[in-house]
A and B are shown apart, each in its own frame.
Chain A
Amino acid sequence: MVEQRVREFIRRPDDAEFNDLALAAFRWQCERSPKLRSLAMRRGHSPGELRDWREIPLVPTRSFKTTQLHTSPPQVIFRSSGTTQPRRSVHPHGHLDLYREVIEQTFPSACLPAAPPVPMLSLIPSTEALPDSSLAFMIDHVLRRFGTEWSAVAIGARGVEFARARSWMGKAQRHGQAVVVLATGLALKQLLDVLQRRDLRFRLPRGSVLFETGGTKGRVEQISRQELLAMVHEHLALSAEHVIREYGMTELTSHFYTAALRGGDPDLFIPPPWTRVRVLDAESLQPLTAGKEGLLAIFDLANLSSTVHLLSEDLGVLEDNGFRLTGRAEGAALRGCSLAAEEFAQLSPSEP
């Protein structure tokens, strides 16, 4: 019943209904999750007593690493990549139809340069390679639902399959129809590095879009956003307004996109109508007004599988009708009486 109401809301959002539906979704979750119910009770309210969605207790992303949070029989278990963290988030997802609905309601308007189908090159592993990746699930659905027949995946166990990507982009260049390149930050950087090393430049057809998700921190040599965009421009002939950034996470069902394609700020993420994003003071967890940096707290009606109200590890600021990412919680780290030696070594030659 609640799932149906949420699906209808996603299709036909009505702000006036949001609060009631949010409270209903939380009550529904509490009926199925003793952890959430106890959390609410410890805060002094039974789930039925809450009157405002902001009162719904926040669940931190960290709890997806420590606690079983599912509210429904899982259809698939998503896990975070676990490449930079010792423990992986686990999100047993029991509402995949809702997930597909979210993708269908948000991806086309944010990322498609023309009516589907659109040729797509994906540098994001498929579910065949990564069956527990929520991003792979999303991209598979995008390719199936909005891609043309000659869409392709050019990534393997060892990273970007450059020969395949090169051949595909050459074909796209000749073909002349606007395309979408889907990439993680890491894969994009790999591709651009190879293009740069080989001094190769493609001119993707006018109107083409680069969909970019995730960062590269700790995985490859860091470069500034400006430098990355300059490389994209030089090697793919795409300007900043054709680079769409996506913000999502294993622990959520909905995604946030920048609205560059519609003339919006290329770094400002716009929440879809069934979500709410607040910025909380990192010390007091009190809501902050626009322009002040704090922790992102995200309400996602579609996240029925676990928690609708999430305390993320990300820092950001509210601005106009969206939010900007500014940082991330510092991971627990070993201390080596040492923080600054890397600045010495950063660009030191690794060979004599």
Chain B
Amino acid sequence: MLRDFAVPEATVQPVTGTAVAHSLRYRRALWDSATVDALLRHLTGHGRRAVEGLGDDSLMRAWESTVEEFLDPASEPRRRLDPMWSQACALSPAGLQAGVQAVLGGVRGRPLRQLLSQAGRAEDDSLISVILAANLPALAVQPLLPALAARRPVLLKSPSSEPFFAATFVTRLAEREPRLGEAVAALTWRGGDARLERPVMAASGRVLAYGEAETMARLRRSLADRLVAYGPKISLAVIDDGEPERIAEGLARDVALFDQRGCLSVHAVLTTRDAEALAQALARQLSALAESWPPGPAAPAQMAAVQQLRADAALRGLCMPRLPIRAGSVVVETDRGLEPSPGLRTVRIHPIASLEQAPNLLMPWRNRLQGVALSARRLETIEPFLRRLGVSRVAPPGELQSADALWHNGGAHPLDVVGAPRAGARHPSAIGE
């Protein structure tokens, strides 16, 4: 039976009960402050020493083998996890697999080796706590890997709507390398339980949190500079070159992956090319992707927002290729203002006369843009500007969402985030690794 927690074997184990999520039963930990205190003592004492003595090779072997296992939908943990996981992430099974491949595919092989080779031991070896979000499957690996590379103990707080991946991953990691099992815990609790949250906050040298702006502001007030906030951002595409059908194929992937819920999901397109032709091609590709990566369940509230957008486009006589609402929506927008998509694979295409017009349109989004899918011959016209805007990733259409372990999420090197000194002179660029 799945569990919503994974804690070191040698610490006090929580009392558990049986619970039901998405019609499936699982074992749920019932945390109390004494058990959480014991866990925190273990992680920051025995756990910290255990991970300190771990060599790169041992860490890499255990990590890579665990990642490979979770990439395989036929593996034992995936067969147990998937029925719950796809529902908790509101993704179709095929959409989940595509998302898992995008996330886990980036934390193995060359980027993994490179990250480990760059990582020095952190002087500050205190606990890192990570507050995870539910919109992306397997998100836990992104902060976990650099924290372990820095040899710091880690507490992963899963969202209560999806507590299973992190717990299952940590369990399998610990089975391969028990020293990691001593230093990492994954657990969840309903937000607001001060008995549990206060000691976790107090014991953490750094808290990495994924959340909305208000949440980040609130956490900032209590954590000050101990907080690393992954606040809300969106991504878009700038298309100045390329064969339309090929570009559209890539854009459709960047839109549809994670059902447009990631911060690297494309919401809007600026193009100097034939916007209506691109819209038609993108609609065809989204239609095809709706077959291979069927969308997950859509909430009526989200459909309502998309219906508003569609009905408004109809009233204004905008170009809007026919697509079932669940497959996506593509609108050629005459309004120059960029807006976030309401979701459900909805994209607005904004025609521009030349690349030189892009900066003015993008400027209001300074520090709120995470990535740009870029197809342009004259990269020098736009790339430096994107850096100044705070864009952390630029990639060709179709590759934007496949960030790897070296990605500077939010503009910061992953090792800097966990306080690890970086060995070696060659640091990857903040843009387009």
Interface-side segment among A129-137, A269-277, A336-344: A336-344
Return chain A residues, CB-CB under 8 Å to B75.
none
Return chain A residues, CB-CB under 8 Å to B368.
334
User: Does A333 sit within 8 A of B, measured CB to CB?
Assistant: yes
With A329-B342, A337-B262 known, 9 other A-B pairs at CB within 8 A are: A35-B315, A63-B316, A66-B335, A283-B298, A283-B325, A295-B304, A329-B307, A336-B210, A338-B231
Return chain A residues, CB-CB under 8 Å to B136.
337
* Min distance, Cβ B138 to any Cβ of chain A, angstroms: 11
Return chain A residues, CB-CB under 8 Å to B230.
336-338
Contact between A39 and B314 (Cβ–Cβ < 8 Å)? yes
CB-CB under 8 A for A60 and B308, given A339-B133, A343-B190 = yes
Closest 9 CB pairs of A and B: A341-B211, A347-B192, A343-B191, A340-B159, A334-B232, A336-B232, A329-B304, A338-B210, A338-B133
CB-CB under 8 A for A342 and B302, given A337-B133, A337-B262 = no
Contact between A313 and B342 (Cβ–Cβ < 8 Å)? no
* Min distance, Cβ A249 to any Cβ of chain B, angstroms: 13
Contact between A332 and B325 (Cβ–Cβ < 8 Å)? no
Contact between A339 and B135 (Cβ–Cβ < 8 Å)? yes
User: Does A198 sit within 8 A of B, measured CB to CB?
Assistant: no
Contact between B214 and A342 (Cβ–Cβ < 8 Å)? yes
Contact between B218 and A67 (Cβ–Cβ < 8 Å)? no
User: Does B147 sit within 8 A of A, measured CB to CB?
Assistant: no
CB-CB under 8 A for A344 and B308, given A332-B339, A335-B261 = no
Residues of B326-368 whose CB lies within 8 A of A = 326, 335, 339-343, 368
* Residue of A with least CB distance to B211: A341
Return chain B residues, CB-CB under 8 Å to A293.
300
Return chain A residues, CB-CB under 8 Å to B215.
338, 341-342, 344-345
Contact between B218 and A60 (Cβ–Cβ < 8 Å)? no
Return chain B residues, CB-CB under 8 Å to A60.
307-308, 311-312, 315
* Min distance, Cβ A277 to any Cβ of chain B, angstroms: 15
User: Does A180 sit within 8 A of B, measured CB to CB?
Assistant: no
User: Does A38 sit within 8 A of B, measured CB to CB?
Assistant: yes
User: Does B317 sit within 8 A of A, measured CB to CB?
Assistant: yes
Contact between A311 and B301 (Cβ–Cβ < 8 Å)? no
Partner of B307, one of A39, A282, A340, A350: A282
Can you spell out 30 A-B residue pairs with CB atoms less than 8 angstroms apart?
A39-B314, A60-B308, A61-B308, A282-B304, A282-B307, A295-B307, A329-B305, A329-B308, A330-B305, A330-B343, A332-B305, A334-B212, A335-B135, A335-B265, A336-B233, A336-B263, A337-B139, A339-B134, A339-B159, A339-B261, A340-B132, A341-B210, A342-B211, A343-B190, A344-B157, A344-B191, A347-B193, A348-B219, A349-B194, A350-B222
Contact between A336 and B315 (Cβ–Cβ < 8 Å)? no
* Min distance, Cβ A133 to any Cβ of chain B, angstroms: 22
Contact between A336 and B222 (Cβ–Cβ < 8 Å)? no
* Min distance, Cβ A292 to any Cβ of chain B, angstroms: 10
Partner of B303, one of A283, A336, A347, A351: A283
Return chain B residues, CB-CB under 8 Å to A333.
212, 232, 340
Partner of B160, one of A62, A285, A331, A340: A340
Which of B214, B215, B341, B342 has the most C-beta atoms of chain A within 10 angstroms of its own C-beta? B215
* Min distance, Cβ B248 to any Cβ of chain A, angstroms: 22
A86 to B298, CA, bound (A): 24
**Total contacts A to B, CB within 8 angstroms?**
207
Return chain B residues, CB-CB under 8 Å to A350.
218, 221-222
A332 to B218, CA, bound (A): 22
Contact between B194 and A347 (Cβ–Cβ < 8 Å)? yes
* Residue of B with least CB distance to A280: B307
A295 to B211, CA, bound (A): 29
User: Does A153 sit within 8 A of B, measured CB to CB?
Assistant: no
Q: Produce 1/0 per residue, B184-212, CB < 8 A to A.
A: 00000011111001100100000001111
Q: Is the interface of A mostly helix, strand, loop or mixed?
A: loop
Partner of A313, one of B131, B190, B304, B335: B304
User: Does A327 sit within 8 A of B, measured CB to CB?
Assistant: yes
* Residue of B with least CB distance to A307: B315
Contact between B232 and A335 (Cβ–Cβ < 8 Å)? yes
A129 to B219, CA, bound (A): 35
A330 to B308, CA, bound (A): 11
A113 to B134, CA, bound (A): 49
User: Does B299 sit within 8 A of A, measured CB to CB?
Assistant: yes
* Min distance, Cβ B28 to any Cβ of chain A, angstroms: 16
CB-CB under 8 A for A334 and B211, given A339-B133, A341-B131, A348-B194 = no
Contact between B197 and A311 (Cβ–Cβ < 8 Å)? no
CB-CB under 8 A for A336 and B308, given A60-B315, A343-B191, A344-B131 = no
Return chain A residues, CB-CB under 8 Å to B325.
283
* Min distance, Cβ B141 to any Cβ of chain A, angstroms: 12
Partner of A63, one of B214, B298, B315: B315
CB-CB under 8 A for A331 and B218, given A58-B311, A66-B312, A67-B315 = no
* Min distance, Cβ A225 to any Cβ of chain B, angstroms: 18
User: Does B309 sit within 8 A of A, measured CB to CB?
Assistant: yes
User: Does A321 sit within 8 A of B, measured CB to CB?
Assistant: no
Contact between B218 and A345 (Cβ–Cβ < 8 Å)? yes
Contact between B191 and A345 (Cβ–Cβ < 8 Å)? yes
User: Does B239 sit within 8 A of A, measured CB to CB?
Assistant: no
Contact between A329 and B301 (Cβ–Cβ < 8 Å)? yes
User: Does A315 sit within 8 A of B, measured CB to CB?
Assistant: yes
Return chain B residues, CB-CB under 8 Å to A332.
305, 339-343
Residues of B9-54 whose CB lies within 8 A of A = none
User: Does A346 sit within 8 A of B, measured CB to CB?
Assistant: yes
Contact between A285 and B212 (Cβ–Cβ < 8 Å)? no
A38 to B315, CA, bound (A): 8
A119 to B302, CA, bound (A): 43
A347 to B342, CA, bound (A): 28
* Min distance, Cβ B85 to any Cβ of chain A, angstroms: 15
CB-CB under 8 A for A343 and B234, given A315-B304, A337-B139, A348-B197 = no
Residues of A7-43 whose CB lies within 8 A of B = 35, 38-39, 42
* Residue of B with least CB distance to A218: B214
Return chain A residues, CB-CB under 8 Å to B213.
334, 336
